[in-house]
Structure 1
Amino acid sequence: MNAIDPKAPQELAPAHLAGPAFELFRAAPKGQPPPTPLVFASPHSGRVYPEDMMSAAALDAVSIRRSEDAFVDDLVAGAPAHGATVIAARFARAYIDLNREPFELDPNMFADELPEFARSRTARVAAGLGAIARVVSEGQEIYRRKLTYAEAHARIEGAHRPYHAALAELLAEAQGAHGFAILIDWHSMPAAAARHAGRDRPCDIVLGDRFGAACAGLLPGRVERELEAMGYRVARNTPYAGGYTTEHYGRPGRRAHALQIEINRGLYLDEATLSPTSGFAALKAHIEALTETLAKADWSALRAS
């Protein structure tokens, strides 16, 4: 993966650089079996804001960027060297949220009718955070006009569908080679949310396994032990139990195990300036060490699950 200079400012990409929906960094060349069952995903770290979005936006570029899981793709950049394939979104979360159902849409955002199959009555839509978000994290309205369903459909077909098609293929390759697949879906959470995750003090990491439904307990148990040994405070499923990706791909009975990892942004990011802090390098090194441990672990019990 091309490393991001953590000291360099991140800017909105020009529309003509929109390009593919994701970047893929394989641990082995395509056509060869992946060396481990590990697949890492970073669905919310994209920094491309196409012109069709920005021309309709009411917010400036910096305000919109506050919804990103900034630099998470770079935090996991060392994973392929240890046998884990990485897929990272290029388009911004505010443009299309890949951790939502594709047609989880708010009808109040659109000038025309949505199709009947659109899921408009979910808690995430009510909060303004459907597949196409209405607000950024501070509750600011993103758009100055209503969108059209054609615009939503273009984002779904151009970004959401190809990303998930690629992710499903990666998991199938891992399962075909090893008898099971392990998906780690990487995210970051605002420091304010992390303060509510711990019982008596802020939490550093939240592991989400849909309360045990998305993976065998062996997986979050091992991750939790490794992180705590590194000095991190770890919580499970509160306030984040896992989103669409964890729920959709986590099928332990079919030997597909999915775990969401939320990182407290206060560990590595100045949330006011969206610049990495001095903690960035240490956190990245710990994530790489965790990856190496997971790659070398004996997961044979998952093959029989």
Structure 2
Amino acid sequence: MNPVEVHQGSSPVILGLPHTGTFVPEAVKARLNEQGRLLTDTDWHVHRLYDGLLDGVTTVRATFHRYLIDANRDPSGESLYPGQNTTGLVPLTDFDNRPIWREGEEPAAQDVAERLDAFHAPYHAALEAEIARVKALHGVAILYDCHSIRSHCPFLFEGQLPDFNIGTNHGATCAREIEQATLDVCAGADGFSSVLNGRFVGGWTTRHYGRPGTGVHGIQMELAQATHLQGEAVPFDYDEEKAARLRPHLKAILTRLSKIAPSLKGN
């Protein structure tokens, strides 16, 4: 199993897809408990949701599951949200704080090191290569990191999550024009709610690569799964009607970002 799938395009926009994969090696799967084997915290169908929205877009998708190792976490293991509930580089619990490993089968330091080499590093090597390629083509690259999460996760946040959750680490990871264009589309999406740098301000991928001064801009979109799934529980089926209402707004975001890109060269 290749840990990463890459589709190269000619657009200045790159879609990062770190959490849609479901591959777990059989030896590791045997160590997961019943709850863990449900793979509940997958970004279900997000790659399908974005498919075909922007001509020439590059996609970099992790095929492995975040319970194996999380491609959107700092490889050092440092927390993205110090002092707040979150899950780590190799999670021990799910988003409801339920253990996902069989007793005595929790990953050890050697497991983490092996998974970093076999899965996390190849994904980011591919992403780095595509950022460099796209930047060489356009003088700028915009990494749009695609995510989703259940709209109710009391362990991680109170109440109900907005539909569109835009993360730019408080404006540090991209040009203001990118942040504003994304916010404008979301704010104008009838029937949808949105927030900028709320509970989610961008994961490690967005923060690590998003360096506007170098011509590389990063922005994260965390979608509430209620916007495109039939239900936010097993079997997490895709909802065609919901997706049909959502996809035009996602298309509008990506289209605007691709049009903005030329004006960012040399900034």
**TM surpasses 0.5:** yes
**How many percent identity over aligned positions?**
27
- Choose which of 72, 95, 111 in structure 2 pairs with 1:99: 72
Aligned match of 1:46: 21
Q: 1:217 to 1:123 in 2, by over 3 A?
A: closer
Aligned counterparts of 1:206 and 1:250: Cα–Cα separation in 2: 17
- Choose which of 288, 296, 301 in structure 1 pairs with 2:251: 288
Is 1:157 aligned with 2:117?
A: yes
Instruction: List aligned pairs for 1:13-32, cutoff 5 A.
Output: 19-27=1-9
Note the C-alpha offset of 1:92: 0.7
- Choose which of 38, 41, 49 in structure 2 pairs with 1:67: 41
Is 1:300 aligned with 2:262?
A: yes
Aligned counterparts of 1:261 and 1:123: Cα–Cα separation in 2: 17
Aligned counterparts of 2:158 and 2:52: Cα–Cα separation in 1: 28
Unmatched runs of 5 consecutive residues or more in structure 2: none
1:70-96 deviation per Cα after TM superposition (whole angstroms, max 9, x unaligned)? 1111111214x5121011111011111
Unmatched runs of 5 consecutive residues or more in structure 1: 1-18, 28-33, 105-118
Please provide the CA RMSD for this pair. Answer: 2.5
Give the number of the structure whose alpha-carbon radius of gyration is greater: 1
Following TM superposition, where does structure 1 have runs of at least 4 consecutive aligned residues deviating by more than 4 angstroms?
A: 121-128
TM-score w.r.t. the length of structure 1 is 0.78
Aligned counterparts of 1:206 and 1:197: Cα–Cα separation in 2: 15
Note the C-alpha offset of 1:233: 2.0
- Choose which of 183, 195, 211 in structure 2 pairs with 1:251: 211
Does 1 or 2 have the higher relative contact order (CA < 8 Å, sep 6+)?
Answer: 2
Aligned match of 1:131: 89
Q: Is the 8 A contact 2:20 2:44 kept in 1?
A: yes
Q: Is 268-277 or 238-247 further displaced after alignment? A: 268-277
Note the C-alpha offset of 1:193: 5.2
- Choose which of 156, 165, 175 in structure 2 pairs with 1:216: 175
Aligned match of 1:279: 242
Q: 1:51 to 1:125 in 2, by over 3 A?
A: farther
Aligned counterparts of 1:37 and 1:55: Cα–Cα separation in 2: 41
1:134-170 deviation per Cα after TM superposition (whole angstroms, max 9, x unaligned)? 1011111111223333322221111100000010111
Note the C-alpha offset of 1:124: 6.4
Aligned counterparts of 1:209 and 1:100: Cα–Cα separation in 2: 16
1:213-264 deviation per Cα after TM superposition (whole angstroms, max 9, x unaligned)? 1011100111121233332322111110011001100101111100000101
